Amino acid sequence: MSAPIAAKIESVEVAFEKQSFLKPLRLSTGLIEQITEGVKVGKIYNGRVTSIKDFGAFVEILPGKDGLCHISELADEYVATVSDICKVGDPMQVKVIAVDDQDRVKLSRRAAIRELNPNAPPVPAKAGRNGGR
């Protein structure tokens, strides 16, 4: 049987490509910050439509946190059906316009579009899914 060898490691060099290592690190750090900061009234989020109802679209703005974008907040003009604007899985920029005492989040697509493009014409209702049918 051989005797154990004791060794002291002075340094370790690891070869990796900076970008491939740091990018996921930045993404996960940003995600953690988003989750811990919570929903902020007045902030614009890049969300994803999770379900559609007759009265509006539910949009996930943070992991596990949805809000309602009422049909009247989807566009400046009249919207006949929510599916004229979006479908489940669509990305949607929305602005948080209120959080009620039951922690329900009220969202507005038209307010987000107006804030991101202040000189743009009114948000048309038919600019969504069906292109004016």
- Phi, psi (5° rounding) for residue 21? -85, -45
CA distance linking residue 107 with residue 46, whole number of Å: 12
Triad 50, 98, 58: Cα angle to 5°? 10
What's residue 21's pLDDT?
55
3-state secondary structure of 36: helix
CATH architecture of 41-127: Beta Barrel (2.40)
What's residue 20's pLDDT?
57
What's residue 126's pLDDT?
62
- Phi, psi (5° rounding) for residue 28? -70, -35
Spell out, as residue ranges, where the chain has pLDDT lower than 70: 1-36, 126-133
What's residue 131's pLDDT?
46
Element (H, E) at 92: strand 91-99
CA distance linking residue 133 with residue 81, whole number of Å: 12
Tens of pLDDT, residues 68-97: 999 999 999 999 999 999 999 999 999 999
